[in-house]
Structure 1
Amino acid sequence: MCDRWKKLAAPVLGIAVLLVLWYGVCRAGIFSAYVLPPPAKVLNSFFKMLQTGELWRDVWISFLRVMKGFSIAFVLAFLLGMVRALLPSAGGYYEYVVQFFRNVPPLSMIPLLILWCGIGETTKTVIIVLASFFPMYLNIVKGFTGCDRKLLEVGDMFGYSRTRKFMRIVLPYATADILVGMRIGLGYSWRAIIGAEMVAASTGLGHMILFAQQMSRTDKVIVGILVIGAVGYGTDRVFGLAIGKLLKGRCDNGWN
């Protein structure tokens, strides 16, 4: 119990110091309330947005978009990674294309996507897929191709076919890398959706922040930023707990 309180005290103390500094800067008048509103004003705006329901609506809409794009990206990454594992020679046909687009920022594709798909849901989904696909694909390929050769030799001794070796040996071995890749991809999805909603949306957290900036409501902008961080952190923690339960402590990826 004592150790648990010690772990909890460190982040609480860090947040408290940040809030005190924020309050002190506002109190000293270093920045105007327009540029940096005080914590009390931001908190008041947060509760008002909760009461009116606009914040819940935008969070839910962004969450659904993230889950949709993330799911599509995972399916594509898993299928391509499986092809790479079962047919190593096939990777040469698309690997360079994958590596090329991995270095292209998804937000740079927005002008083309708007021309091709309009400003509907398709554009936002594609942006999320482009952002989250590559970290998941790289981790999946790492897991599939990094399987212990001795385990594969055992499969050969039992006469396993290539497909059976993949299902019985390679896939269980790669589970940790797959889940870690999914966790990273989920974070990239949240980063991408906010940018997409700022450009091509009329709802969602990104649009809320942009609209608040246009209306000179810095307090709402800060509320949006804090909510994005909180929701993203919450989904990451849930995913991290799921990984811990599934792997039962067999994967130490450096995240607490």
Structure 2
Amino acid sequence: MNKNKMIKTTISVVSLITVWGLVSKMGVVSSYILPAPVKVLNTLFKMVQTGEIFEDIHISYIRVLKGFFIATLAAFILAMIRIILPKWNDYYENVLQFLKNVPPLSLISLLILWFGIGETTKIGIIVLTAFFPIYLNTVKGFISCDKKLLEVGEIYGYSKVNSFFKIRLPYAMSDILVGMRIGLGYSWRAIISAEMIAASAGLGHMILFAQQMSRTDKVIVGILVIGVVGYITDRLFAFIIGKVLKGSEKNGWD
């Protein structure tokens, strides 16, 4: 992030906090509904001192990474089959198109019946949420490969498998990474609903428990922490992608 952009971001954040503080101080909104920024900050400091916030972050992070990894692997394999073995695509493409339109939250009850209330169900929600943006972008990258490059591969006698790994995959890398970045963001968005399924730890559980105890300040802390951790993860991913694609600005990763 360049200096000018950082200054503008700082101004917008400070302005938002200032408005929040004024609204709270003037009593426009009840402190029960919207506690003052100072109270939220004090709550955050207490949670940092006790270490409970770090434990929740760690547990949520592991769940997000597991779900994201499974979604990425499944999306890549199915997209690869679609290209290398196109006839197999007929067996699952319509099913995927159907599931794409089904909200993952609507499947929670079914997942609980199938897998109980353990980690499998929680990670399953994250997988279902992250899978489709990764899959659709990966397929787009493979299908949009330059036909002339494929023709060159045919001239050199490449098989479908060789053509896939030596031509299509490098060509589609940008689209694949875009899908992965979107999927990673969706994974963090899904963590709340995933951890509301009888979880005993994690940021989603912390927010749900705080809501049940009428602790709006802890709810806001949980939301802010998820946003910050998700943002940091996204920036790290963008940095890695910028290195892989030889320049973040050129590839739109700023």
TM-score normalised by structure 2 residue count: 0.97
Summarize deviations over 1:17-58 as a string: whole Å, max 9, x none: 001100100111111211111000000000000111110000
2:157 aligned with 1:142, yes or no?
no
Q: What count of residue pairs does the alignment treat as equivalent?
A: 254
Counterpart for residue 123 of structure 2: 125
Which one of the candidate residues 70, 73, 80 is aligned to 1:72?
Answer: 70
**Cα contact 2:241–2:248 (8 A) shared by 1:** no
2:94 aligned with 1:96, yes or no?
yes
CA distance in 2, matches of 1:156, 1:4: 45
Cα distance, 1:196–1:102 mapped onto 2, change above 3 Å:
same
Cα distance, 1:236–1:91 mapped onto 2, change above 3 Å:
same
CA distance in 2, matches of 1:151, 1:250: 25
Counterpart for residue 188 of structure 2: 190
Task: Quote how far apart the aligned CAs of 1:4 are.
Answer: 3.2
**Cα contact 2:40–2:217 (8 A) shared by 1:** yes
Q: Map of 1:37-76 to 2, 5 A cutoff? A: 37-76=35-74
Counterpart for residue 238 of structure 1: 236
Unaligned regions of 5+ residues in structure 2, if any?
A: none
**Cα contact 1:119–1:200 (8 A) shared by 2:** yes
Cα distance, 1:70–1:144 mapped onto 2, change above 3 Å:
same
**Cα contact 1:137–1:181 (8 A) shared by 2:** yes
Task: Quote how far apart the aligned CAs of 1:88 are.
Answer: 1.9
Counterpart for residue 164 of structure 2: 166
**Cα contact 2:239–2:248 (8 A) shared by 1:** no
CA distance in 2, matches of 1:234, 1:150: 39
Summarize deviations over 1:137-182 as a string: whole Å, max 9, x none: 1011111111100000001111111111111111111111111111
CA distance in 2, matches of 1:223, 1:250: 31
Which one of the candidate residues 209, 212, 225 is aligned to 1:211?
Answer: 209
Counterpart for residue 4 of structure 1: 2
Moved more, 41-50 or 110-119: 110-119
CA distance in 2, matches of 1:140, 1:243: 15
**Cα contact 1:176–1:251 (8 A) shared by 2:** no
**Cα contact 1:124–1:200 (8 A) shared by 2:** no
**Cα contact 2:242–2:253 (8 A) shared by 1:** no
- What amino acid maps onto 1:133 in structure 2? F
TM-score normalised by structure 1 residue count: 0.96
Cα distance, 1:162–1:194 mapped onto 2, change above 3 Å:
same
CA distance in 1, matches of 2:252, 2:187: 21
Summarize deviations over 1:108-165 as a string: whole Å, max 9, x none: 1111111111111010011111011111010111111111000000011111111111
Cα distance, 1:251–1:166 mapped onto 2, change above 3 Å:
farther
- What amino acid maps onto 1:127 in structure 2? I
- What amino acid maps onto 2:227 in structure 1? G
- What amino acid maps onto 1:226 in structure 2? L
Summarize deviations over 1:61-114 as a string: whole Å, max 9, x none: 000000001111111111000000112222122111101101111111111111
Runs of 4+ aligned structure 1 residues displaced above 3 Å come to 250-255
Secondary structure of the corresponding residue to residue 78 of structure 2: helix
Unaligned regions of 5+ residues in structure 1, if any?
A: none
- What amino acid maps onto 2:141 in structure 1? G
Task: Quote how far apart the aligned CAs of 1:196 are.
Answer: 1.3
- CA RMSD after TM alignment: 1.4
**Cα contact 2:245–2:251 (8 A) shared by 1:** no
